Amino acid sequence: MEDWFTVEKIDRNTFAISEYKHWEETHCYLLCGEQYAILIDTGLGVSNILKVVGELTKLPIKVVTTHIHWDHIGGHKWFSDISVYESEREWLSVKFPLPLQVVKTI
Protein backbone atom coordinates (compact mmCIF):
# COMPACT_ATOMS: atom_id res chain seq x y z
CA MET A 1 0.00 0.00 0.00
CA GLU A 2 2.56 2.50 -1.14
CA ASP A 3 -0.02 5.25 -1.62
CA TRP A 4 -1.88 4.81 1.70
CA PHE A 5 -0.52 7.97 3.36
CA THR A 6 -0.89 11.58 2.30
CA VAL A 7 1.93 13.87 3.46
CA GLU A 8 1.36 17.58 3.85
CA LYS A 9 4.29 19.85 4.62
CA ILE A 10 3.25 22.39 7.24
CA ASP A 11 6.64 24.11 7.43
CA ARG A 12 10.24 23.01 6.81
CA ASN A 13 10.30 20.85 9.99
CA THR A 14 6.65 19.83 10.42
CA PHE A 15 4.58 17.33 8.46
CA ALA A 16 1.02 16.00 8.70
CA ILE A 17 0.84 12.34 7.70
CA SER A 18 -2.78 11.39 7.03
CA GLU A 19 -4.77 8.27 6.21
CA TYR A 20 -7.58 9.71 4.11
CA LYS A 21 -8.44 6.32 2.59
CA HIS A 22 -9.93 5.15 5.89
CA TRP A 23 -13.26 6.49 7.14
CA GLU A 24 -11.62 7.89 10.30
CA GLU A 25 -9.13 9.93 8.26
CA THR A 26 -6.43 9.70 10.94
CA HIS A 27 -3.62 12.24 11.20
CA CYS A 28 -0.13 11.88 12.64
CA TYR A 29 2.40 14.66 12.92
CA LEU A 30 6.17 14.59 12.42
CA LEU A 31 8.17 17.33 14.12
CA CYS A 32 11.83 17.40 13.08
CA GLY A 33 14.30 18.90 15.52
CA GLU A 34 18.07 19.11 15.43
CA GLN A 35 18.93 15.85 17.24
CA TYR A 36 15.79 13.74 16.78
CA ALA A 37 12.27 13.84 15.40
CA ILE A 38 8.99 13.37 17.25
CA LEU A 39 6.19 11.42 15.61
CA ILE A 40 2.88 12.17 17.29
CA ASP A 41 0.80 8.98 16.98
CA THR A 42 1.44 6.19 14.48
CA GLY A 43 -1.96 5.82 12.83
CA LEU A 44 -3.93 2.71 12.02
CA GLY A 45 -1.08 0.34 11.15
CA VAL A 46 -2.60 -0.51 7.77
CA SER A 47 0.62 0.48 6.00
CA ASN A 48 4.18 1.05 7.25
CA ILE A 49 4.36 4.64 8.47
CA LEU A 50 8.07 4.20 9.26
CA LYS A 51 8.80 4.06 5.51
CA VAL A 52 7.07 7.41 5.04
CA VAL A 53 8.79 8.97 8.04
CA GLY A 54 12.14 7.64 6.79
CA GLU A 55 11.65 9.51 3.53
CA LEU A 56 11.02 12.77 5.42
CA THR A 57 13.91 12.63 7.90
CA LYS A 58 17.04 10.66 8.72
CA LEU A 59 16.88 11.71 12.39
CA PRO A 60 16.19 9.13 15.12
CA ILE A 61 12.43 8.92 15.75
CA LYS A 62 10.71 9.18 19.13
CA VAL A 63 7.00 8.38 19.16
CA VAL A 64 4.65 10.29 21.46
CA THR A 65 1.16 8.81 21.76
CA THR A 66 -1.74 11.16 22.47
CA HIS A 67 -3.88 8.29 23.76
CA ILE A 68 -4.14 4.53 23.40
CA HIS A 69 -6.89 4.08 20.83
CA TRP A 70 -6.26 1.64 18.01
CA ASP A 71 -6.25 4.38 15.36
CA HIS A 72 -3.37 6.12 17.19
CA ILE A 73 -1.16 3.10 17.98
CA GLY A 74 -1.55 0.81 14.97
CA GLY A 75 1.92 1.66 13.67
CA HIS A 76 3.71 1.24 17.01
CA LYS A 77 5.04 -2.11 15.80
CA TRP A 78 7.56 -0.30 13.58
CA PHE A 79 9.11 1.81 16.36
CA SER A 80 11.08 1.11 19.52
CA ASP A 81 11.14 4.50 21.31
CA ILE A 82 7.49 5.05 22.29
CA SER A 83 6.04 7.24 25.04
CA VAL A 84 2.52 6.80 26.39
CA TYR A 85 0.60 8.07 29.39
CA GLU A 86 1.44 6.04 32.49
CA SER A 87 -2.24 5.35 33.20
CA GLU A 88 -2.74 3.88 29.72
CA ARG A 89 0.46 1.80 29.51
CA GLU A 90 -1.19 -1.52 30.35
CA TRP A 91 -3.54 -1.11 27.39
CA LEU A 92 -0.58 -1.82 25.12
CA SER A 93 -0.27 -5.35 26.52
CA VAL A 94 -3.92 -6.18 25.79
CA LYS A 95 -4.82 -7.65 22.42
CA PHE A 96 -7.43 -5.86 20.35
CA PRO A 97 -10.31 -5.57 20.40
CA LEU A 98 -10.07 -4.44 24.00
CA PRO A 99 -12.14 -6.47 26.43
CA LEU A 100 -15.08 -4.53 27.89
CA GLN A 101 -13.57 -4.81 31.38
CA VAL A 102 -10.41 -2.97 30.25
CA VAL A 103 -12.42 -0.20 28.62
CA LYS A 104 -14.50 0.29 31.78
CA THR A 105 -11.42 0.65 34.01
CA ILE A 106 -10.01 3.62 32.13
How confident is the model over 17-51, as pLDDT tens digits? 999 988 889 999 999 999 999 999 999 988 999 99
Residues 6+ apart with CB under 8 A from 29: 14, 15, 16, 17, 39, 40, 41
- Domains present along the chain, CATH in parentheses: 6-105 (3.60.15.10)
- Backbone CA torsion sign across 12, 64, 8, 59: positive
Give the residue with greater pLDDT, 8 vs 68. 8
Residue 106: predicted pLDDT: 46
pLDDT at 89 over 60: yes
The per-residue pLDDT for range 50-80, each reduced to its tens digit, is 999 999 999 999 999 998 888 888 899 999 9
Q: How many residues does the chain have?
A: 106
The reported pTM is: 0.83
